[in-house]
Copies of this chain bind each other. A is one copy, B any other.
Amino acid sequence: MNIAEIEAAAARLSGRARRTPFLSSPFLDEIAGRPVHVKTECLQHTGSFKFRGAWSAISTLPEGTRGVIAFSSGNHAQGVAMAARLRRLPAVIVMPADAPALKRANTEALGAEVIAYDRANEDRDAIGEALATERGLTLIRPFDDPLVIAGQGTCGLEIAEQAAEAEISSATVLTCCGGGGLTSGIALALEARAPTLRVRPVEPEGFDDVARSLSAGRILSNKAMSGSICDAIITPSPGRLTFPIMHRLCGPGLTVSDEDCLRAMYLAFLRLKIVLEPGGAAALAAALFHGDSLDDGPVICTASGGNVDPGVFQSALERYGKT
């Protein structure tokens, strides 16, 4: 993959996706002991960067396409549902039955049909394959698709521009990382446009398949698929397409705890006036609380999503809002 594919995605997304703001606060800089800039993809359509990749892929489908199908617990589902609606295509989303209620409700409200399955006892891929065949649907993968990676890479083009506007000459770019679509897309964009910015993926403790894979030089998997509140960025393993890109371009991975993420959500509420979900706060959490693992200099964090159930957000305010 190369920068031309990301530029082509940017052309498709022009006028469709938002150029999300770069925010900062002197209070956050003080906590981190360095300048912290936040790329607010929670303000993107459907509340996460996933709309970029979904529209990048779905906008290229030929006339006569019968519909799309996706496997997703939430943010990719909403991105696909909105992109399909814009193309007036039916969308089917195969979603675990324990997905956050808000994500399921939003996906349905955007016009998609949700098929729930039991993570423990049902085979997601078999369900999806049967549906796709029966109805002639096109599968939109969450990350391991060049059109999707290119779409997420448009976020990296904006980071390069916004870093230049903020007069940042070199920095660490922390990404909230699941399967690596956003991370690899941003890394490709920055390689071409801002090579002094180095990407490092951030994952939840215990679900650090990307960090371990980068360290081992080969694709490794997580042992479990649940047990963190960071549902948006828990994936079995990095992708076949995303891993080689990350391995070539990214620095070592970092991990954060659920508590780190809740505290970062509270601080983003307090200082930036934005709403983050736990997985969308992972990069900011690493910047604020794990600076000892970072090189000196400014940090740019993707705030990748804000689709959080009110009860989880309340618990972050409850726990950290007393001080």
Contacts and interface: CB of A to CB of B under 8 A. Distances in A.
Nearest to A26: B110
B306 A310 contact: no
A314 interface: yes
Interface stretch (A92-100, A138-146, A267-275): A267-275
Interface string A105-123: 0100110000000000000
What interface size band does chain A fall in? 20 to 34
Query: Which of A270, A309, A317, A322 has the most CB atoms of chain B within a 10 A radius of its CB?
Result: A270
A125 interface: no
Given A42-B273, A270-B102, A273-B47, A321 B310 contact: yes
Contacts of A102: 270
A23 interface: yes
Contacts of A322: 310
Interface string A269-284: 1101111100000000
A216 to B, nearest CB: 36
A20 B43 CA distance: 12
Q: Report how many copies the assembly holds.
A: 2
Contact of A274 (B43, B309, B317): B43
A284 to B, nearest CB: 14
A309 to B, nearest CB: 8
A21 interface: yes
Contact of A310 (B109, B275, B317): B317
A174 to B, nearest CB: 19
Contacts of A18: 21, 23
Interface in A294-308: 306
A103 to B, nearest CB: 12
Contact of A275 (B47, B269, B314): B269
Interface string A251-272: 0000000000000001001101
Contact of A321 (B21, B27, B275, B311): B311
Interface in A217-268: 266
Contacts of A21: 18, 20-21, 43
Nearest to A273: B306
A313 interface: yes
Query: Which of A42, A266, A274, A310 has the most CB atoms of chain B within a 10 A radius of its CB?
Result: A310
Interface in A179-207: none
7 contacts: A20-B21, A21-B43, A23-B43, A269-B310, A270-B310, A314-B317, A314-B321
Given A21-B21, A273-B276, A314-B317, 5 more contacts: A27-B106, A47-B273, A274-B274, A274-B275, A314-B314
